[in-house]
Homo-oligomer: A and B are copies of this chain.
Amino acid sequence: MTTTAREIHLASRPDGWPTPDNFRLVEVPVPTPGPGQILVRNTVMSVDPYMRGRMNDVKSYVAPFRLDAPLDGGAVGEVVASEADGVKPGDLVLHGLGWRDYAVLDATAARVVDPAQAPATAYLGALGLTGQTAYAGLVDVAGMKPGETVFVSAAAGAVGSLAGQIAKLKGAGRVIGSAGSAAKVDRLRALGFDAAFNYKDRPVGEALKEAAPDGIDVYFDNVGGDHLEAAISSMRPHGRAAICGMIAQYNSTEPPAAPRNLALLIGKRLTLRGFLVGDHAGIRDQFVADMSGWLRSGEIQSDETVVDGLENAPGAFLGLLRGENLGKMLVRI
């Protein structure tokens, strides 16, 4: 076995859009597990938009990444050494120490997953927090009801594409998606979205009014800004927005100009609610049951964009922020 491990460190904090210079590949000795710990060789890791927020040195719901230390995030890997009861070498585990090829962690912080049930990548995507985020946003946060019209932004992304498909499966009357390229728009139609548009072609508000002439009931927000303004404008009375992300402004150095139509919240009795999947553990069993079935039956298709090599993880993350992914962005290590 190799004695050298590699990690991606945060070399500097970005101001606006991150660049490759903000990351550094560092070689370290392969760590040794202590009592109760396991050594995992990571095989796949997740890059996610929320990580951009952690690159800033600001207090938020999750601690910022530390400078000159490895980044972290969702990963799946194979246990190569174990000092813990109940986890043995060869087990596949899901855990939170991505951005490195070898991780040592307490066995209690890892979850053994079954590769016979689903491929390793599914535990980071459709069957993991990504899928659960889409499910929680629609079911718990927006309280979507059958027959309603649902709009999903960044709908070709990991969470968005699942949110749109889940909406259809839960009985939405009409599901509309926005994305940033013609190819993504085509993909949304293939996934069963009733309408889809490229937000780079024309104003979001105009495109949304055409796609949903009778208005929308639920907005699953991954973008913020002009998308949120358009959604508020198109909402029918008692509409709800589940606010999952606002990628439009993660790299912005200026405060956003939109939405400027919040006064509509009153007359239309609208609700905007931000959420984090961690608060919705109560739906986990229902989610796993539903999603496992949908994946088995092929009713849900889980798109993945896979980049090879830990050294390319920063590039994969930057590509994600630029919208180069279709579905879940993953790095195979």
Contact = CB atoms under 8 A, between A and B. Distances in A.
A224 B263 CA distance: 8
Q: Is the interface of A mostly helix, strand, loop or mixed?
A: loop
A116 interface: no
Most buried by B among A237, A243, A263, A271: A263
Given A224-B263, A262-B224, A263-B224, A274 B269 contact: yes
Contacts of A257: 257, 260
A263 B244 contact: no
B275 A273 contact: no
Contacts of A276: 266-267, 269
Nearest to A244: B266
Nearest to A237: B61
Contacts of A271: 271-274
Given A268-B274, A274-B266, A275-B266, A256 B246 contact: no
Interface residues of A, number: 34
Interface string A248-282: 01000001110111111111111111111001000
A251 to B, nearest CB: 12
A14 interface: no
Contacts of A273: 265, 269-272
A203 to B, nearest CB: 15
Given A53-B267, A61-B269, A257-B260, 16 more contacts: A61-B267, A62-B267, A224-B262, A224-B263, A243-B265, A243-B266, A244-B266, A246-B263, A256-B260, A256-B263, A259-B262, A265-B274, A268-B274, A269-B275, A269-B276, A271-B272
